[in-house]
Chains A and B, each alone.
Chain A
């Protein structure tokens, strides 16, 4: 594809005997917000570091904006990176931090300051230009780290779990800010996260990874509605999908997955599947009911105040069309 801003081909990385990245192929188009999503230790951060040039691949190829950068230094890749820990230079002011890459490139001081001020305005950091990182709040530090990336005008932005150090409220706010920034700049962004909410809300392309392999690539709702295997089905969605053996519910399949919102509680008499309510979680706008059944604990999600009390016997029903069917190897079967 001509407009692929980032292309990875058979990318592999081993640390000694441990294979962290087992052959990843990926294409990210210009302007896309691509999230690398997976549990910790799945290799998503390693993949990002390979793209950044902070790790050298064992084999494979990395192209950025049509240029092979596999063996290039990070600084020659036209990328900018925002680190999980922000990695601000503590002895420098906000302005110096933002302008650091320009200073390293030998840009004159006046030009540096002008560019830093421009970027700081964009991020509402302009009143803080003279401050040191220690004098900033977590959210402000995060913005400085983003500013340092912006000032480089990179082809690709790399984010390594940038919101994981922020408290929940600030995280939601920064999520919106990052989405706006992405829209305003039309920039290509690669975003590593273990938080599916971040991936689902910000990205238009999600790469789900597990154990060094890409499990599935797709849009947020695509992954939710059509997971290609058991892992993706289980990882995407909160509360998590219920897995039950096909035989238990009279389906000719090894295993089926039913989302909590697709299960209804019905009278216990005559229901194919029944159990005892063991926990009721009321979240205000919705209720989660955990039911102990012969095939394990199942979660039912309903809007508002679902009538259920602990110890009550209930029957469970769901529409077979909404169930996801998996074979022995965990692959999704259609139908």
Chain B
């Protein structure tokens, strides 16, 4: 058969215009989000003399790592603080998962009496600003010997992060089709076996999200760490960074501040990039239908 290539008629102008408009909005939003980060990043490499120049310059005239050196060598050295932060964040992640996975599973899958009330109660605790809880918590922790202690700080961070974690895990477990649970029951799987072999693998994206949020909360949390930790060598990164940026006579060391922002942001960015593939949904594809 003689088949000539038939050119498509041009797209209607309205449809083209809509595409451009959407692209323009996307670019505007991305620019808005990225601008401060780019500015910080550039500013962090400015030589000391340039950082407080008036009027400020946007592009550094010369690249300098002075600011980073200052941050790195501050007091105990940055690695001590990074280690402390990582330790606390790690413990927070573990505690959050250990508590929120069973709690979410029970709320999603068991006929717990009055479970909606419990659930709302758990969520309601997010309404209370945690700064208001710090003093009572501090007094309690002092009696328990949990102050000036990384484990204590991890518990505090877990308290902050737990309601949201339970909420997320409940949703993740609820997303697992009921038929899978029933099939597992018919197949003779105990509840523990179901959880280990069926539910946890399928709720993995939820668990990754919980871990990610726990990490970010713990990594950035400042006031709790400031109150609980009292020795310089036990400080976490946010506390150390506030120390680094205060210059003489209450001035602010802008260069060090920008370098600190970059330094404290990097781990969050790396953790997010490392875990983002687990975010991808579709883990349940092929389960039913």
Q: Residues of A with Cβ closer than 8 Å to B?
A: 52-54, 73-75, 79-81, 83-91, 100-101, 103-105, 132-136, 141, 148, 152, 165
Given A54-B182, A81-B182, A88-B286, 5 extra CB contacts under 8 A: A89-B197, A90-B284, A101-B187, A104-B197, A135-B286
Question: How far, in angstroms, from A88 to B283 measured CA to CA in the complex?
Answer: 12
| A133 & B179 in contact (Cβ 8 Å cutoff) | no
| A63 smallest CB distance to B (angstroms) | 18
CB neighbours of B197 from chain A (8 A) = 89, 100, 103-104
CB neighbours of B184 from chain A (8 A) = 89, 100, 104
Is B109 engaged at the interface, CB distance under 8 Å to the other chain? no
- Answer whether A87 and B188 are a contact pair too, CB < 8 Å, given A134-B285, A136-B286, A141-B286: no
| B180 & A91 in contact (Cβ 8 Å cutoff) | no
Question: How far, in angstroms, from A220 to B202 measured CA to CA in the complex?
Answer: 43
Residues 173-204 of chain B: 1 if any A CB is under 8 Å from the residue's CB, otherwise 0? 00001011011111111100100011001100
| B287 & A88 in contact (Cβ 8 Å cutoff) | yes
Contact partner of A90 (CB less than 8 A), chosen from B186, B188, B193, B202, is B202
Is B49 engaged at the interface, CB distance under 8 Å to the other chain? no
**Closest A residue, CB atoms, query B188:** A75
| B186 & A52 in contact (Cβ 8 Å cutoff) | yes
CB neighbours of A105 from chain B (8 A) = 188
| B231 smallest CB distance to A (angstroms) | 46
Question: How far, in angstroms, from A87 to B202 measured CA to CA in the complex?
Answer: 13
CB neighbours of A54 from chain B (8 A) = 182, 185-186
CB neighbours of B193 from chain A (8 A) = 104
| A87 & B180 in contact (Cβ 8 Å cutoff) | yes
Q: Residues of B with Cβ closer than 8 Å to A?
A: 177, 179-180, 182-190, 193, 197-198, 201-202, 283-289
Question: How far, in angstroms, from A91 to B179 measured CA to CA in the complex?
Answer: 15
CB neighbours of B289 from chain A (8 A) = 85-86, 165
| B286 & A134 in contact (Cβ 8 Å cutoff) | yes
Nearest 7 A-B pairs (CB), nearest first?
Answer: A134-B286, A75-B188, A85-B288, A133-B286, A87-B179, A101-B187, A87-B183
CB neighbours of B187 from chain A (8 A) = 75, 100-101, 104, 148, 152
| A249 smallest CB distance to B (angstroms) | 48
Question: How far, in angstroms, from A79 to B286 measured CA to CA in the complex?
Answer: 24
Question: How far, in angstroms, from A196 to B287 measured CA to CA in the complex?
Answer: 27
- Answer whether A75 and B286 are a contact pair too, CB < 8 Å, given A87-B179, A90-B202: no
| A83 & B287 in contact (Cβ 8 Å cutoff) | no
**Closest A residue, CB atoms, query B182:** A54
| A285 smallest CB distance to B (angstroms) | 34
Contact partner of A87 (CB less than 8 A), chosen from B190, B285, B288, is B288
| B109 smallest CB distance to A (angstroms) | 14
- Answer whether A90 and B185 are a contact pair too, CB < 8 Å, given A85-B177, A85-B179, A104-B193: no
| A80 smallest CB distance to B (angstroms) | 7
Question: How far, in angstroms, from A86 to B289 measured CA to CA in the complex?
Answer: 7
Question: How far, in angstroms, from A91 to B176 measured CA to CA in the complex?
Answer: 12
Question: How far, in angstroms, from A104 to B190 measured CA to CA in the complex?
Answer: 8
